[in-house]
Structure 1
Amino acid sequence: MSRMAGAAGSLVEVAALAASERYFNRELSWLSFNLRVLAEACNPDYPLLERLRFLSISGNNLDEFMMVRVAGLAGQVRRQIEEVSIDGMTPAQQLAAVRDAVTELETAQQDVWRELRELLAAEGIMLADGQRLEPAQARWLRDYFVEHVVPVITPQAIDPAHPFPFVANQGMGILFPLVRSDDGSAVMEMVLIPQALPRFIRLPGPEAVYISIEDLLCRNAALLFPGFRVLGHGVFRVLRDSDLEVEEDAEDLVRYFRTAIQRRRRGRIILLQLQGGIDPAAEQLLRKQLRLDHAMVLKTPGLIGIGGLAAMVEEDRPDLKFEPYSPRYPERIREHEGDCFAAIREKDIIIHHPYESFEVVVDFLRQAASDPDVVAIKQTLYRAGKQSAVIAALIAAAEAGKAVTAVVELKARFDEEQNLEWASQLERAGIQVIYGFVDWKTHAKVSMVVRREGKVHRTYCHFGTGNYHPVTARTYTDLSFFTADPKAGRDAGKLFNFVTGYVEPQRTELLTLSPIGMRETLYDCIDAEAENAQRGKPAAIWAKLNALTDSRLIDRLYAASQAGVQISLVVRGICCLRPGVPGLSDNIMVKSIIGRFLEHSRIWAFACGQPLPSAKAKVFISSADGMTRNLDRRVELLVPIRNRTVHRQVLDQVMVANLIDTEQSWVLEPSGSYRRVGKVAEPFNLHNYFMTNPSLSGRGAALTNGHKVPKLALRRGAA
């Protein structure tokens, strides 16, 4: 039986199962991920302010989920779309299930906040909302209110002469029911809180006493409304539909996105949050005026907008935070006196962020900008941050006379406005700016430098699993692969020609692109493992992804499992694959790693007839997750790792560390629940390991001088 015929037979058996038995729901899986993030806020092994940081992250995560995913479901319900999800649920069924889960998650967030609030107070960090203040503190707050808040806010009466104002996305406001003192007439006033005001104000003094901006307004309502008696107040917050749909017939992407960003701020309301104790009249007015068509209403007795607690995390208390970590600069490059090109020319190197410095990537471009032998630079930009050294290096290169091309992705969600600004700056510097495809995102992370060396031109490439973003590079674990392999250079050139000129490559020598051939390449590798298993050879697949949702890819993995392939998946976030189901996925293990750093790199490894890990395994890094959009609707890269040292680093070090970790790991059960890996006799923390041990390809001569990196051993069934 041929490889494809055998796989097809298994796929038919898989397809016979009901969708709900084969897959988890994508949206509910994401909410489960955010619960794991929230669980880190309860981790007693973490410093207290780091626990508060995880709480705020879970709040911001939930906001984005509501603004994009829940908004999309509500839109489908409004348009009466009945297309079912991967697990067989209609949009209406998903929306109902998601609302229940969101309510539970929000309740859990408030429980965690109450616990952390008490612990913080014991450490001298207090939120004084609703609490009595010392006279001196009250006077200072009154002065602060008069001097810094009153000039910025604009109270507005709500009556026929003053229609209900527009509340922006993520906007917060307060309704005040009042009675006029002289005639007893009722008035409803609204104060929208400008985002320019700080969410929390720190009172002066050695103790860290904070007060929220909404509590400050409520405390001083009498100052704001002289001649009125304040009957109560109602604090509320609004989230709106923030997803931008790109129209295929958009003639000018830049103009389209500038107007689309404005529309986002006025999208349909998807969530109304109400603080507990809200005045009934105020609540009734909000529900009537905000037109809550399929919107969710959450009433909470605690703090609304919990993501804003990130401001309190900035309190200068190093004793309540992780010990600062300074990334290493690879010895291999230092051995070449900092010359990135000389180090890469000698042999391939991979940089493991954040343990190794993102400055290597910036230096690669800075040196290209100042090197008189460099003739051209081509660069993709998906997210680059607000103060980007990468952008500065590209501008310097253009000013130095290099031919510079930048592919700027305008569809990078919530970075559209920043990317428009970068594009304008790059164009003013004389850089050729390309926006790529209208209906596909360019998600591949590629930097290509062409250098004149004697009578030939050599191409140096950087391929990344993460973004060219110096801030996230300090907290996201990603891989930066540098090579001067001519095949990689030629393929990178074809990728840029594909994006800039729609010239689809007929064939590539080393790299695999999506949406052209990545799905087929992964299928071939999976099917080869299934064939090896059927022949009695060692067969295994290891993968590290942020998300796995594509049903066809999942079915391929199911078929491989049924053939006897041992599959170990590290999927940080959404996972629709159901592991450990008898007859379906007996041989598949899925774990999620949540901790100090956000696991972001994408890796695939295939055994090729030898037990993993082995030097004969096929190893790839990628910019793509296991999602339909990555495989079919985005420009992505799958990069094979062939250098022996880099291969060992990615497979024997990075992947093995992820698989044997016990302290940051959660195991996905067949039921869909996750269980934290419990205490073991020999605990292992992969983040601590990488913070204290250098990577293999970055060691340079130190490896040959007896300074070895500790070898990791795979403990079968450790999870």
Structure 2
Amino acid sequence: MSEVVVDLSESPDRFTNRENSWLDFNARVLASAEDHRVPLLERVKFLAIFASNLDEFYMVRVAGLKRRQSMGLLVRSADGLTAAEQLTLINERAQELVDRHVKCFTDDVLPALRAEGIDIVTHDQLSTDEKHRMTEYFMQKIFPVLTPLAVDPAHPFPYISGRSLNLAAVIREPGGKIERFARVKIPPNVDRFVRLGKDRFLPLESLVAANLDSLFPGLEVVDHHPFRVTRNADLDVEEDRDEDLLQALERELARRRFGPAVRLEVTAEMDEKTLDLLTREIEVDPGDVLVVPGLLDLSSLWAIVKVDRPDLKDDPFVPGSPARLAKGDSFFDVLADGDVLLHHPYDSFATTVQTFIEQAAADPHVLAIKQTLYRTSGDSPIVHALIAAAEAGKQVVVLVEIKARFDEEANISWARALERAGCHVVYGIVGLKTHCKTALVVRQEGGTLRRYCHIGTGNYNPKTARMYEDLGLLTADPEIGADLTDLFNVLTGYSRQTEYRKLLVAPYGVRTGLVQRIEREAEHARAGRAARIIIKTNHIVDEESIDALYRASQAGVRIDLIVRTNCAVRPGVAGLSENIRVRSIVGRFLEHSRVAHFLNDDDPEVFIGSADLMHRNLDRRVEVLVRVDDPEAKATITRMVERLMADEIIGWDLQPDGTWTNSERGPLGATIDPQKEQIEHIGSGA
């Protein structure tokens, strides 16, 4: 075939907008909440996820755009938009999605919950007896922790903390005309939904609002309105200063709560005078105000998701274990005979990764354990195992990434606990986040040392391992062991190694390694040899990688991209990307694994690892992709990603114009949920 040559460098239209792409992703999450086939409390879960996602989007992405705008930077996005243009686009689209979100909850999910005996009511809807009981509850449990803050010449406007729920109260002297403003913070350490009965709930702000007169005795409460502020939560740690990184981060965490406001959420009933006061004092632009026609902060709906109604949730399932590990033999004996591929949550994290570390901690022949920790759980069995190993006299080296966004405080706490137990704790490399998921166990076997490894796509977190789809490789491959040894020397010492045997390591080798392989597929296609690329990732926005994929498409390479969230690729565009397809899977589990598959003239190369195709992952993080050489593991991964692109699989397909269509509504009418299919595969014992 003849190859079409397009000058990519002069065409910003070849990329979609990253921020709009993220909003598209959250719209797909919202579509799951709107889907009546999804169990009712799972729909509530998706409503909560949507709200939490949007919070983080404003705290990080919108905050970054606002910072650029305030600094007068004219840096444009890959698709050519200025920060101001992107903020306008975001505000319009976010308001549209919030309206959909609240409509789904108020008009659809809430009545359905009520029909099932689960009710969220306002104070006005309570019976006389319920009102009496709630007044007593308020006076005993809520009133003592409330602090109304007046605003007048002697009382400046109070600081409003990020993501706090507040009431704006308007008060005056009885019979007077001068109105005053007061702010009442809804206490965040009290349940947002007060339980009235078994499954009957009252929003806390409704209870506080009904009792405002007790906070302002002798005054008249004229009006009240809930509001909520979102603030910039992105940290800016100066790592080049001669200062302990831990201390610098703690200082920045203390500063985070005072970040500038990036969003103000108000109800549709708020009057203009109060709104003007809030926007002026909180210092937000009118365009940053989101009007919510209903309850604020639906991320708190997790409390409703926890209601004990299994009939309204997904069917439970028991994760399995790979057959070779299920026999109960020593992991070291099993891995000596070959690699084991893990696929969570279908494979249990507790009986695989956790057991691997626990066995290593307890084994008298294990001399050392080295591990990276990016995010882990509140009561982490992995951390406890590492502490036990150190207390048993083993050398334990742990790289705790204390800059992991929104987990900084928890990771600082774990770092100190590990240090107290005698572990060697390091915080990574200056200027880089360590995002890779790696563990190395060194074991004395006779007169030799043997290395056992785990490399994964997900965090060492047993909680998220039950909710996120991820892959992991357990191996005793000597070359991978040597690679991880070299990598830990980079992380803990002054090594500057950039070349590895079976690993691609960012910030030096992931983009280069992937682009080289993409170009190799293009050469195969030009020569008439077998060529195909399948990449599964959370995000793909790196321009250099995308342009390489466009060139490969023009050379005739069939390219399938499975992208969960951000995707700047425009597939199916004549002369540019007609051989590229993009699909997104939204389901019960968060699709989190990263895979890169290259057919390579029928000699496939398959990688799994931690890196997404984003600038931050490729340039500002330590990331690891490992080449999977075990034939069975490689075949399993290949079947998995090929299956996700099958016509009958339910997903969202990206169109050339940047819109997403549900494959169920496509010409072939997809009918199979790939995650349910995988669960059934476990249940069948296959």
TM-score by length of 2: 0.96
Cα RMSD (Å): 1.9
| Residue in structure 2 matching 1:197, options 184, 190, 200 | 190
Task: Give 1:683 shift.
Answer: 2.8
Query: 2:643: which partner in 1?
Result: 657
Determine the C-alpha separation between the residues in 2 that align with 1:269 and 1:681.
45
Task: Give 1:395 shift.
Answer: 0.3
Q: Are 1:691 and 2:679 matched, yes or no? A: yes
2:91·2:287 contact (CA, 8 Å) conserved in 1?
no
Instruction: Check 1:180–1:682 CA distance in 2 against 1; reply closer, same or farther (3 A cut).
Output: closer
Q: What per-residue deviation string (whole Å, max 9, x for no partner) do you get for residues 526-576 of structure 1?
A: 111111111112211011010000000000000000000000110011000
Determine the C-alpha separation between the residues in 1 that align with 2:122 and 2:348.
41
- Structure 1 runs (4+) deviating above 4 angstroms are 182-185, 679-682
Query: 1:527: which partner in 2?
Result: 519
Determine the C-alpha separation between the residues in 1 that align with 2:657 and 2:123.
43
Query: 2:334: which partner in 1?
Result: 343
Determine the C-alpha separation between the residues in 2 that align with 1:295 and 1:260.
28
Q: Are 1:168 and 2:156 matched, yes or no? A: no
**Letter of the aligned partner of 2:614 in structure 1?**
M
**Unaligned regions of 5+ residues in structure 1, if any?**
1-5, 611-615, 696-706, 710-719
**Unaligned regions of 5+ residues in structure 2, if any?**
none
**Letter of the aligned partner of 1:620 in structure 2?**
F
Which range moved further: 618-627 or 394-403? 618-627
**Letter of the aligned partner of 2:152 in structure 1?**
D
**Letter of the aligned partner of 1:555 in structure 2?**
D
**Letter of the aligned partner of 2:646 in structure 1?**
I
Query: 1:97: which partner in 2?
Result: 89
Instruction: Check 1:277–1:644 CA distance in 2 against 1; reply closer, same or farther (3 A cut).
Output: same
Q: What per-residue deviation string (whole Å, max 9, x for no partner) do you get for residues 457-496 of structure 1?
A: 0000000001011111001000110000111000001111
How many equivalent residue pairs?
Answer: 680
Task: Give 1:276 shift.
Answer: 2.4
**Letter of the aligned partner of 1:430 in structure 2?**
G
Query: 2:142: which partner in 1?
Result: 149
Q: Are 1:314 and 2:306 matched, yes or no? A: yes
Query: 1:635: which partner in 2?
Result: 622
1:661·1:686 contact (CA, 8 Å) conserved in 2?
no
Task: Give 1:268 shift.
Answer: 0.1
Determine the C-alpha separation between the residues in 2 that align with 1:661 and 1:201.
46
TM-score by length of 1: 0.92
Task: Give 1:417 shift.
Answer: 0.8
Determine the C-alpha separation between the residues in 2 that align with 1:688 and 1:299.
37
Instruction: Check 1:661–1:414 CA distance in 2 against 1; reply closer, same or farther (3 A cut).
Output: farther
2:598·2:606 contact (CA, 8 Å) conserved in 1?
yes
Determine the C-alpha separation between the residues in 1 that align with 2:642 and 2:441.
33
SS of 2:378 mapped into structure 1 = coil
Determine the C-alpha separation between the residues in 2 that align with 1:155 and 1:81.
40
Which range moved further: 401-410 or 91-100? 91-100
| Residue in structure 2 matching 1:259, options 237, 251, 264 | 251
Which range moved further: 514-523 or 265-274? 514-523
| Residue in structure 1 matching 2:661, options 675, 683, 686 | 675
- What does 1:274-313 align with in structure 2 at a 5 Å threshold? 274-292=266-284, 296-313=288-305
Query: 1:354: which partner in 2?
Result: 345
SS of 2:81 mapped into structure 1 = coil
Instruction: Check 1:668–1:573 CA distance in 2 against 1; reply closer, same or farther (3 A cut).
Output: same
Task: Give 1:364 shift.
Answer: 0.7
Task: Give 1:123 shift.
Answer: 1.3
| Residue in structure 1 matching 2:634, options 647, 669, 683 | 647
Determine the C-alpha separation between the residues in 2 that align with 1:551 and 1:445.
25
Query: 2:580: which partner in 1?
Result: 588
- What does 1:466-481 align with in structure 2 at a 5 Å threshold? 466-481=458-473
Determine the C-alpha separation between the residues in 2 that align with 1:185 and 1:594.
53
- What does 1:394-433 align with in structure 2 at a 5 Å threshold? 394-433=386-425
Task: Give 1:279 shift.
Answer: 4.0
Instruction: Check 1:248–1:537 CA distance in 2 against 1; reply closer, same or farther (3 A cut).
Output: same
- Amino-acid identity (%): 42
1:270·1:294 contact (CA, 8 Å) conserved in 2?
no
Q: What per-residue deviation string (whole Å, max 9, x for no partner) do you get for residues 55-112 of structure 1?
A: 1100000000001000110111111100111111111111111111111111111111
- What does 1:63-212 align with in structure 2 at a 5 Å threshold? 63-114=55-106, 115-129=108-122, 131-181=124-174, 186-204=179-197, 206=198, 208-212=199-203
Task: Give 1:131 shift.
Answer: 4.0
Instruction: Check 1:241–1:18 CA distance in 2 against 1; reply closer, same or farther (3 A cut).
Output: same
